[in-house]
Chains A and B, each alone.
Chain A
Amino acid sequence: MATNRTGTAQRPNGATQGKICQFKLVLLGESAVGKSSLVLRFVKGQFHEYQESTIGAAFLTQTICLDDTTVKFEIWDTAGQERYHSLAPMYYRGAQAAIVVYDITNQDTFGRAKTWVKELQRQASPTIVIALAGNKQDLANKRMVEYEEAQTYADENGLLFMETSAKTAMNVNDIFLAIAKKLPKNEQTTGQGGSAQGRRLAEGDAGAKTAGNCCK
C-alpha cells in the first residue's frame, strides 16, 4: 500500500519521481512502553489494547513522502526486556535512525530510555538520528514524567522529542516524519520545500487515526 501512495503522489509530475531513500530505523525502550504499538499504528493504522509482547524481533516497512523524496523506513521492532538486551546491537547496528520509547506514566521507563540513548551514542553509528518518544500520552492524567523534563533532556542530547499516543495516533506519523526530515538524503538540494509538503501530510494525520490512510 505504501507504494500506491508514493505512486499517486509523484507520478503526475513524472520528472520528480526519482529519489528514493531507504533508512533502517530501530525501536528501543523498556518492556511494554508501546514500541510495537507505535509501529503498528504507523505502518498499519491499527491499535491493539493488549498487543502481545515481542519475542525476538519484528520487521516492518513503511514509506512516506517528503517533497520529491520517497523515504522508505525499514523498521526493527525489538523485545524490551533487559534479558534480551544482548541482542540489541544486532538491531541497531547499521541503523540510521532510532526511536527510544518510554511510558510517560512510568518514571523507570524514562530512566531506561536514557540508558538506551547513552548506549546508542556510544555504540551505534555516530550519525544516527535519535528520537525520544514519550508514549501513552492518552494517559496524561497518570503522568509521572513531565514534558519539560523530557524536553530538556532531549535538547541537551540533541534528540528529537515528542509525546505520542499509539492509541489515539497523536504524533505517531509526526515523529517518523520528523526523523525522515532530519535524515540526510543523498543529492539533497533544499530542505525547505520538503517541510511544506511534509507538514501538509502531518496536518492530515493529526485529524485522527490515519496512519493507514496515507497509504490507501
Chain B
Amino acid sequence: MEDCVEDCEEIFSQDGVLLKQAPASHITFVNTIGTLYLSESLNSNKKRFIEWKPNDITVDSDIQDQEWAVVNTIQKRTRTLSGNYPADYQNRIKCIKFNFEEIKSFRVANKSRQISFYDGKADCLCIFGFQHGNSDTLLAILKRMLRISVSKRDKHLYIVYDANFPEFQQLDKSFAELNIQRDSRTLWSVFRNLKDHPYEATFEAFAKVTDYVYRSPEQRDIDDVDKENLNRSISEYENTTTHSQGDYEVVAKVPERKDFPRLRPLSVEQWKGHLNSEGKIEDVESVKTLIFRGGVTPCLRSEVWKFLLDYFPWSSTEADRQKLLATKSDEYYNMKLQWKRMTKVQEDNFSDYRERKSLIEKDVNRTDRTLDFYAGDNNANLQTLNDILMTYIMYNFDLGYVQGMSDLLSPILMLLESEVDSFWCFVGFMNKVIRNFDIDQAGMKDQLSNLHTLLAFVNPQLANYLDTHDSGNMFFCFRWLLVWFKRELSQEDVMRFWEVLWTGYPCENFHLLVCVAILETEKQNIIQNNFGFTEILKHINDLNGKLDMAVMLNKAEGIFYQIKESDHLSDNVRLILGMPLLQTQTSYGSHEQSPFEDSTELSNSTQPCCSVDNVRISPDEVAYERSINSSFL
C-alpha cells in the first residue's frame, strides 16, 4: 500500500481559493472556497502537483448531497486512511489535483486574483479565484519551477514548455496516490474513463474521495478504524499552524496551550522585602516577575511606576533617588518656563508651536472628562495635564503633540498627581511607545504587520479569514495598539494592564500577543457572522468596556509559551518577540536592536531573506506592505 502512496512535501498553500470553473462532472465544487496546495513528491521522481480541496469540512449541505447523487454512482465504498503516511498527508484528502506536466499554459486575470490553468486542449483545467491577496506568490513559484514564457498576444497568458512525459503516465501516477484499491470497480471504471476523458476522470475520482470523506457520518459506510483515522487527521488539522506566514505555508503542529493564572499583585511586604538597607532593589528580575504575574497593589503604584517608567533607575539607592528628584524637578521647570515665557509675537510667528498648543487645548478639554479627577469646568487637573503636554513639546519638539498622547498621560497624572513626577513618568512611557506616533505611521504599520505575523503563526485560520476579508492590514486594532487599550479598559484595569506590560515580560511586544488573544476569542463571532472590514472594525471598537483584562493577559501568556515551545518557530516570529534567531541574517540586524528597528529593516527589505527546508520564504512584511499599499492608499 505504501508503494502506492507518495510522501509529499507541501511547498505552498493558499487558503481562501474559490474554485470558479471545473470540468462539468465537478460542477458541485464550483463556487466553493478551498485551499490550493502546491506540493512535491518526496519520491525520487520529485513530481509536483497542484491540488485544491474544499476548506470547510463540517458544512455539507443537503443540496450538495443531492447533486452528488448524480455523480456518485457507487454508494457503498470503503477506503482506508490507515497506514504509515505522514499526518500531513492524511490531512490532505484531495479533491482536485493535477500534475505540473499537465499544465500547458495558465492565465492570470482580474488583477491577479484569478488564475486559470489550461491543458493545451480546448478545455480549461480549472479556474481559481483568490479571495485574499492574489496569485502573485503562486505565480512567482510557478515561474521558478516551470519553464514558461509570456504569450506575445496576451501578456497575462503564460505558456509552459517542456512537458516531457506523456500525460497518461502522470495521471496514472497521481491516480495511484488515491489508494482506492479496496474498490477495484471504481478504479477500473475510472481508468476506463481516463483513456477517453483523462482530466474529467481524474477529477471525478478525486471528487469521489472527497465526497466520501465529507459526507455526514451516518451516510458513510465506514469502519471503525477508518473513522478513528479520519477523526485523528481532522483533529490534527485543527491543531496545526503554519510554519511561516505570507503566502508560503508549511503546516506544523503547535504545542498545547497552558493556563497561566494571574497572581496577587505585588504587596507592600514583598516590595519592602526586596529593598536593602540603602533602599536599593536587590533582585530586580524577581520584582518584575511578581509585577508581571499580578501587577502592583494600588497603594504602591506611585512608587513602583517610577521604576517601571525608567524615571528611577532600578539600581538606584534611596539617596540617589532623592538627588534625582531635585535635578529632574529643576529640569522640568526650566523647560516649562521656555514655553510659558513665549511672547504673543513669538507665538504669532511660530505656527508649528501654535498648532500644537491648540491641539493640546482641544484634546485636554476632552480627555477622560467622565472621571471625577478631570470632571467639571475649570478643573485644575486639566491645567496640569495641559502644562505637562506643553512641556513635552519643549522636551521633544520633533515629535510635539500627537493625538493619543493625552490618553497615555491621563492615568499617570491621576495616580501620581505631582506635575514633575508625572512628566518624567510620561516621558518614560513615551519612550516605550514613541514609534506609535511616527509622522508617517510607520511604527503603527510595523506593529500591525507584526501582529498579523503572530496571528498567522498562532491561528492561521483567522489570519486567512482576515486576509480574505480585506482586513489583513489589521487596521481594526489601531486604537488598541496606539494607546495600549486605554480606550477599551476601565481606569483601574488600564493601570493594571500597563504596569504588567511595562515590565517587558515575558517577551518583547507582549501587547501584540494580547491582541492575538482577544482576536482569537472573537474569532467565532467574526467568522460566523461573515464580517467584512467595516463590520470587524465596528465589532472590535464595540469591545470597549467588555474586555476582561485578566483573561486577556492569561491567554496571551499561554500563547507566548505555545509559540516559544513550537519546534517550527520561524525567525520573523522570533524577531518580533525578541527571541534569539536561528540563523544570522544580515538583513535582520543584530539581536540588540529594538524590534521596531528590526522590523523597519524587514519591511524595507524586498528580497526574500530566509530559507527554511529549502523553501524560500518571502518576509511577510513584503506581503503586508502590499496589502498596506492596496488598503491604505
Which chain A residues have a beta carbon within 8 Å of chain B's beta carbons?
Answer: 31-32, 49-53, 55-60, 74, 76, 79-81, 83-84, 86-87, 89-90, 108
Contact A90 B366 (CB under 8 A): no
By a CB distance below 8 angstroms, the chain B residues around A53 are: 362-363, 366-367, 403-404, 406
Contact-residue size bin, chain B (C-beta under 8 Å from the other chain): 20 to 34
Beyond A52-B369, A52-B487, A90-B475, 18 extra complex contacts between A and B, CB < 8 Å: A31-B362, A49-B369, A50-B369, A50-B370, A53-B366, A53-B367, A55-B403, A55-B407, A56-B476, A56-B478, A59-B534, A59-B537, A59-B541, A60-B538, A81-B359, A83-B402, A86-B440, A90-B633
CA distance A143 to B434 in the complex (A): 37
Please, which residue of chain B has its CB at the minimum distance from the CB of A33?
Answer: B362
By a CB distance below 8 angstroms, the chain B residues around A58 are: 538, 541
By a CB distance below 8 angstroms, the chain B residues around A90 are: 475, 631-633
Considering the complex of A and B, which 6 residue pairs feature the smallest CB-CB distances, nearest first? Answer: A56-B478, A50-B369, A32-B362, A55-B479, A56-B479, A81-B403
By a CB distance below 8 angstroms, the chain A residues around B276 are: none
By a CB distance below 8 angstroms, the chain B residues around A31 are: 359, 362-363, 403
By a CB distance below 8 angstroms, the chain A residues around B367 are: 52-53
Give residues 430-451 of B contacting A (CB, 8 Å).
437, 439-441
CA distance A59 to B362 in the complex (A): 23
Knowing A32-B366, A81-B402, the reply to whether A55 touches B631 (Cβ < 8 A) is: no
Mostly, the B contact residues are: helix
Q: Is B482 on the interface with A (CB-CB < 8 A)?
A: yes
User: Which of A55, A84, A87, A89 is the most central at the interface, judged by chain B CB atoms within 10 Å of its CB?
Assistant: A55
By a CB distance below 8 angstroms, the chain B residues around A80 are: 403
By a CB distance below 8 angstroms, the chain A residues around B631 are: 90
By a CB distance below 8 angstroms, the chain A residues around B441 are: 84, 86-87
Give residues 156-171 of B contacting A (CB, 8 Å).
none
CA distance A154 to B618 in the complex (A): 49
Q: Is B365 on the interface with A (CB-CB < 8 A)?
A: yes
Q: Is B483 on the interface with A (CB-CB < 8 A)?
A: yes
CB distance from B472 to the nearest CB of A (A): 13
Contact B632 A87 (CB under 8 A): yes
CA distance A89 to B483 in the complex (A): 22
By a CB distance below 8 angstroms, the chain B residues around A59 are: 534, 537-538, 541
CA distance A79 to B441 in the complex (A): 13
Contact B478 A55 (CB under 8 A): yes
User: Which of A56, A76, A79, A90 is the most central at the interface, judged by chain B CB atoms within 10 Å of its CB?
Assistant: A56
By a CB distance below 8 angstroms, the chain B residues around A83 are: 402-403, 437, 439
CA distance A80 to B359 in the complex (A): 10
By a CB distance below 8 angstroms, the chain B residues around A84 are: 403, 441
By a CB distance below 8 angstroms, the chain A residues around B478 are: 55-57
By a CB distance below 8 angstroms, the chain B residues around A32 are: 362-363, 366
Knowing A83-B403, A87-B632, the reply to whether A55 touches B366 (Cβ < 8 A) is: no
CB distance from A133 to the nearest CB of B (A): 18
Give residues 528-547 of B contacting A (CB, 8 Å).
534, 537-538, 541
CA distance A94 to B404 in the complex (A): 27
By a CB distance below 8 angstroms, the chain A residues around B370 are: 50
Please, which residue of chain A has its CB at the minimum distance from the CB of B402?
Answer: A83
Contact A50 B366 (CB under 8 A): yes
CA distance A32 to B358 in the complex (A): 10
The residue from A50, A60, A76, A86 contacting B365, defined by CB atoms under 8 A apart: A50
By a CB distance below 8 angstroms, the chain A residues around B358 are: 108
Knowing A83-B403, A90-B475, the reply to whether A57 touches B632 (Cβ < 8 A) is: no
